[in-house]
């Protein structure tokens, strides 16, 4: 499974063009997913020197990507079949509807192959069993 991961606001707190502080458990979770044979692609707006800084930041922490801003290593951008749309199974990005989930929850969803709907339904049933009162 291929997963595209944003950098600013997802791996580190948003401070673009600077590199913000690491978001807790982001690097550890991504390295764990790699050990489980997920292919991670860094998918970021950063280019040139700023991209090199982001890649170096991750590599200094032991996180190496399958590809960077492409669907696969050495993708031919001059080919007539090249598409700017990246070919992945999942995106992890802070601009998702609802924002960036907690990295523990992200891992649980991916590792257990759950949908967000499954997670919400499971949490609802757990809370209902505990007899919480809902106020809306």
pLDDT score of 114 = 86
pLDDT digits (tens, 9 = 90+) for 105-131: 899 889 988 887 887 777 656 655 555
Higher pLDDT, 112 or 57: 57
Higher pLDDT, 101 or 136: 101
Neighbours of 3 (CB within 10 A): 20
84-96 mean pLDDT: 85
* Residue 26 and residue 103 in contact, taking contact as beta carbons nearer than 8 Å: yes
3-class SS at 77? coil
Q: Is the pLDDT of residue 51 over 90?
A: yes
pTM: 0.79
pLDDT score of 136 = 43
Q: For the chain, list the domains and their CATH numbers.
A: 2-129 (3.40.50.1000)
């Amino acid at each position: 499974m291929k997963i595209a991961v944003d950098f600013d606001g997802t791996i580190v707190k948003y401070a673009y063009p600077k590199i913000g502080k690491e978001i807790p458990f982001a690097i550890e979770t991504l390295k764990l997913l790699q050990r489980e044979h997920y292919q991670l692609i860094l998918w970021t707006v950063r280019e040139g020197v700023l991209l090199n800084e982001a890649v170096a930041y991750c590599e200094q922490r032991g996180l190496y990507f399958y590809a960077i801003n492409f669907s696969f290593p050495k993708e031919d951008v001059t080919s007539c079949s090249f598409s700017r749309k990246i070919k992945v199974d999942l995106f992890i990005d802070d601009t998702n509807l609802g924002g960036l989930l907690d990295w523990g929850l992200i891992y649980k969803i991916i590792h257990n192959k759950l949908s967000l709907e499954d997670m919400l339904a499971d949490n609802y049933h757990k809370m209902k069993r505990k007899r919480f009162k809902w106020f809306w």
